[in-house]
Amino acid sequence: MSDASLSERGYEAVPLPDRRRFGDAEMVERAERFLAEMKTRHSVRDFQAAPVPRRVIEACIETAGRAPSGANHQPWHFVAVGDPDVKQRIREAAEAEERAFYAGKAGEDWLSDLTPLGTDAEKPFLETAPWLIVVFAERYRVDADRKIGKNYYIGESVGIATGMLITALHCAGLATLTHTPNPMRFLNEICGRPENEKPYMILVAGHAAEDATVPRHAKVKKPLSEIASFL
Ligand code: IYR
């Protein structure tokens, strides 16, 4: 297709902004430095109540918003909850679901796979941590005239954005926990989000408690030789 016909249809290009080019040695150094930084990320379940500035959360959500997405539709919405009453409602609803889950709904295999993590239906961190970031995936779009439009690769797009959010929060110096009560439709009502958005997960963020622990099991990561092949 000719450039002229593409541009008639709305395509326009700009020169690549922020071009970067490091030497090989510097690239290795940067990659390894970032690996070392990310090796200090641990999922944490014990948080301090200490407040965290809203701007930290805003900047991290802006980072998540830089993620690639299907047709650049950016099919995500982040609800940052700092209000203690809202956090309490989320905790109560989540624990109600978790009690049913741990009482048997999960099934034997799932419960036995969770044993090394030591988790149960009690989720005090949903109230203790200063921020809960509820991530919603936009299943389809609704424009100003209520016209419905498609989104693409929604799970992939929101997953990448959530990964970038976790990474940004970690680099800012915060501990996080990915939390997925099952089912979690109750989050639409509490967060006031529309029907076309599906709760994806809750990201709990704050400072780790002084006596926070992590399950030994969670620290065993597969080596490079197991997770990658080079052809
Ligand atoms: N949602 C439950 C159960 C749970 C499931 C998985 I998979 C985990 O990796 C951890 C927990 C809970 O939060 O306890």
The residue to which tokens 């978790």 are assigned: 98
pTM of the model: 0.96
CATH of the domain at 103: 3.40.109.10
What are residue 123's DSSP bridge partners?
Answer: none
Residue 208 alpha carbon to ligand 1 centre in Å: 19
Tell me which residue range forms the domain holding 61: 43-214
**In a domain? residue 144:** yes
Cα-based angle 132, 137, 142 (whole degrees, multiple of 5):
125
| Whole-number percent of the chain with pLDDT over 90 | 95
Task: Band the pLDDT of 89: cuts 50, 70, 90.
Answer: very high
**In a domain? residue 133:** yes
**In a domain? residue 14:** no
DSSP 24-51: HHHHHHHHHHHHHHHHT--B-S-B----
Tell me, using a 6 A CB cutoff, whether residue 97 lines ligand 1. no
Q: Phi first, then psi: give them for residue 132, nearest 5 degrees.
A: -115, 125
Query: Which of 90, 97, 119, 217 has most ligand 1 atoms within 8 Å of its beta carbon, as the pocket-test mutant?
Result: 119
Residue 180 alpha carbon to ligand 1 centre in Å: 7
Which is the closest atom of ligand 1 to the Cα of 106? 3
What are residue 173's DSSP bridge partners?
Answer: none
Which is the closest atom of ligand 1 to the Cα of 113? 7
**In a domain? residue 179:** yes
What are residue 137's DSSP bridge partners?
Answer: 76, 198
Tell me, using a 6 A CB cutoff, whether residue 180 lines ligand 1. yes
pLDDT in tens, 104-130: 999 999 999 999 999 999 999 999 999
**In a domain? residue 187:** yes
Q: How many domains does the chain have?
A: 1
**In a domain? residue 229:** no
**In a domain? residue 159:** yes
**In a domain? residue 8:** no
Structural element, H or E, at residue 178: strand 175-179
